Amino acid sequence: MKVISNSNEHVMALAANFSTDADSHLVCIQNEMANYQTQAINIQNKPRQVTGASFVVFNGALKASTGLTAKSSIVEDGVMVQIQSDMMATFRQRLREMKDFRIPCGAIGENEPEEVVTVKWIEETRKVNQGVKSPIDGKSMEGIDNIRIHHGTDFMGKKRAIRWTEVFFLESNEVIVQHLEPVDLSRLAETLATACCVALIQHLDNLKESGMAKIALRVTVDAERVGYEAGSNGKALPSSYMNSLDNEMIPVLHNAVSQFEEGPVIMELIFHIID
């Protein structure tokens, strides 16, 4: 629904996720002449039946003078669907109503369209993070939303550094999501990550030498309960590290409670110790 609200009335672009149902996928390759061309990669010795794409764009600027009801075409590693402005308005309304929509492509007045683009609502499938488990207790992360941190700060110790690499959103009240901007949750996650890194920076050598190079911090923020867990290799961190964590984490958590009174918010942050 955010796409409908944020896009202009003539163009709407949708990014696509990787589909495990597809046996081939569109890719855009730069050739030796620095030009881009589209190819379809597929499973070896298997005919293409379902081809995935990286995006789809619906363009409502098709003129009636073209003599077409609609037109679809491949653009780089995605699909462009051109429709007339009145159909675009109807299409947007059907999306708001969460109803399927059929777009016949081809010449106006033909009995049968050359091809049909169907936008269909289906049951949500949560196939993300298959096989991923929490370093704290082995909890499955399958189906849980996460964000990878690509430009995080490395906190340097004497010989090694600790880097925040990922955050999983285990639970968040819909009321919070509606009232807070995404930047608020991001800011909380960043504050928690900084506190954890500062707490562990003096222990990096011991942690790495003990085989605990990947560490997770699971935080619960709620008006009725607030706390955290830290672990590695499926076990809680030894008590020798917890005093340092308490000193940094507790002030941050108590401050966060006042901002998330409609909780709970539960997130798990992943860190790596690097040489």
- State whether the Cα torsion 102-107-112-115 is positive or negative: negative
Write the DSSP symbol of residue 168. E
Per-residue exposure over 119-132, b if at least 16 CB sit within 10 Å of its own CB, e if not: beeeeeeeeeeeee
Q: Rounded to whole angstroms, how far apart are CA atoms 247 and 254?
A: 12
Q: What are the residues facing 215 on neighbouring strands?
A: 271
Q: Which of 13-22, 29-38, 71-80 has the highest mean pLDDT?
A: 71-80
Q: Are 41 and 27 in contact (CB under 8 A)?
A: yes
The residue among 181 and 222 whose pLDDT is bigger is 222
CB 237 within 8 A of CB 215: yes
Label residue 91 by pLDDT band (50, 70, 90): very high
* Radius of gyration for the chain, computed over Cα atoms and rounded to the nearest angstrom: 25
Nearest to 16 by CA among 45, 52, 61, 69: 52
pLDDT tens digit sequence for 130-189:
889 999 999 999 888 888 898 888 999 999 999 999 999 887 644 444 445 555 778 889
- Give residue 262's pLDDT: 63
- 20-49 pLDDT tens trace: 788 888 888 888 888 888 888 887 777 888
Which pLDDT score is estimated for 261? 64
Mean pLDDT of the chain: 87
CB 195 within 8 A of CB 249: yes
